[in-house]
Structure 1
Amino acid sequence: MLSLVVLISGGGSNLRALLDAASDAEFPARILAVGADRDAEGLAHAEEFGIPTFTVPYTSFGSRDEWGEALLEQIRVWDADVVVLSGLMRLLPASVVSALSPNLINTHPAYLPEFPGAHAVRDAIAAGATESGASIIVVDNGVDTGSIIVQERVPVAPGDTEHSLHERIKPVERRLLVQTVLDIANGLDLRTI
C-alpha cells in the first residue's frame, strides 16, 4: 500500500479528489497526513476523513530555509512513500527537495513547460493562448521545471476568464493526480521519469 503526505495552501480540491479515491478499499494508496503552510481551508477535507493534519506557518520563520527544515521534520514523522504538493504555493528549499526527491510530485494548472509559476492560468489568458492544460511533475529545484509524469491539454474557449479556464482545468488536474498516484502504487518508478 502506497503511503502519502499531501501538502496544501488553499481549498484543497485536488486533495479532496485523492481523499475520495483513497476512501475506496480497492485503491492502493492511503493518505497518512495533510500539511499546510498556513491555516488552509482544505485541511477541513482531511479532518472530515479522519486524516491527521499539521500546519507549519511560513510566516513563523525567519527564512525559507528555516521553514523548510521545520516542514521536513513534520513530513518525516509520517515516513510516507510519496509527498504530494497539491496546491502548496511555496517553493520548497533545495534541502527539502533533495531529502524527498524523486518521491515528491506536484500538480500544475498548465501544459508545462508552458506557463510555469504561481499564475499559470492568468498567464495563459494574458498571452492569448488557445490551449492550456494540466501537468503532474516530479519536483526539482526549479520553478515547475521537473520531469513531467503526465499532462493533458485543455482548450481555452473564446471569452474565457482566468476563473472559467481554471474551473475547466481543475477536473483534469484531479483526474491526472489520482491516476498518477495509482500508477505509482502499481509500480511506476519516479526515478525513471
Structure 2
Amino acid sequence: MKVAIFASGNGTNFEAIAQSEQLANAGLDIKVLVCDKPGAPVISKAQKLDIPVFINDLNDFPTREDYEQRIVDKLEPLDLDYIFLAGYMRVVTNVLLSRYPNKIINIHPSLLPKFSGLNAIERAFDSGDDQTGVTIHYIDEGVDTGPVILQEVVPILSSDTVDTLEQRVHENEHKMYLKVILDLIKNESENNNFEKGID
C-alpha cells in the first residue's frame, strides 16, 4: 500500500508508523513525507529513515489552492493509495480532497467533536473533564470533521499535568494509527484479491 504522510512538527506519529516492522511486513510503502514547515524536526527523522521529503511552504504561494496544487503535482506520479495526516497543521482544501476522495485520514488528540482545532490536549486538561481521547477519521472540508474510523478514551487523572496527559494521548495515538493502517492494508489486499477472482 503506497502512502504519503503529512506532518508539520516533531513527527512522533510519523516516526511510529515509519519504524513499525509490522506495517512494513504487511506492505506499507511510505513514498514521501510532505512537510509545510522548513526546519521541522520530522524532516530529519524522515531523512534518517531514508524516506524522501517534500517541503512545501505556504508562504511561497499566493493562495492555499496554489500551495495544494503543488502538492498534488508532486504526489500524482506516486500512484498513492492513501494520505495519512500526522500532526499536519493545515486545513486541507478541495484541491487535495477532490484528487484523493475518501483517501485522506487524520488523527486528532481529542474525542471529536469536542476540542476540535488547535491545542486540544491543553484545552481538555483545562476543561475540568475527567476524560479526553483520540479520534482517527476521514477528512472533509471542515476542521476535524469527517467520518470517524476509530475513537478511544484517555482518562484525565487527578494527578495529571498537561505533559503526562499529552504523553498518554500520544501513546494511544501511536497504537491506534498502527491498528487502523493495518486494517486498511488488510482491506486493500482483500479487495484486490476479490477483483482478481482469488478466494
Q: TM-score, normalised by structure 1?
A: 0.91
What is the match of residue 129 of structure 1?
129
Task: Name the one with the larger helix percent.
Answer: 2
Supply the distance in 2 between the matched residues of 1:67 and 1:44 (Cα, whole angstroms). Answer: 22
Runs of 4+ residues over 4 Å off in structure 1: 22-25
Distance 2:29 2:171 in 1: 21
Aligned to 1:51: 51
2:164 corresponds to 1:158:
no
Q: How many residues align?
A: 188
Amino acid of the residue matched to residue 84 of structure 1? F
Distance in 1 (CA, whole Å) between partners of 2:61 and 2:44 is 24
SS of aligned partner of 1:54: strand
In the TM superposition, 1:112-123 aligns within 5 A as 112-123=112-123
Where structure 2 has 5 or more consecutive residues not aligned to the other structure, the ranges are: 190-199
Post-superposition Cα deviations, 1:61-119, rounded to whole Å, max 9, x if no partner, equal 12212211112222223221000011000111122122212010001111112111122
Q: Distance in 2 between matches of 1:88 and 1:66?
A: 18
1:164 deviates by: 2.3
Is it true that 1:34 corresponds to 2:33 in the alignment? yes
Matched-pair identity in % = 28
The 3-state SS of whatever aligns with 2:154 is strand
Distance 2:117 2:21 in 1: 29
State the alpha-carbon separation in 1 of the partners of residues 162 and 90 from structure 2. 21
AA aligned to 1:18 is I
For structure 1, the 5+ residue unaligned runs are none
RMSD: 1.7
1:167: how far off? 1.2
Between structure 1 and structure 2, the one with the greater Rg is 2
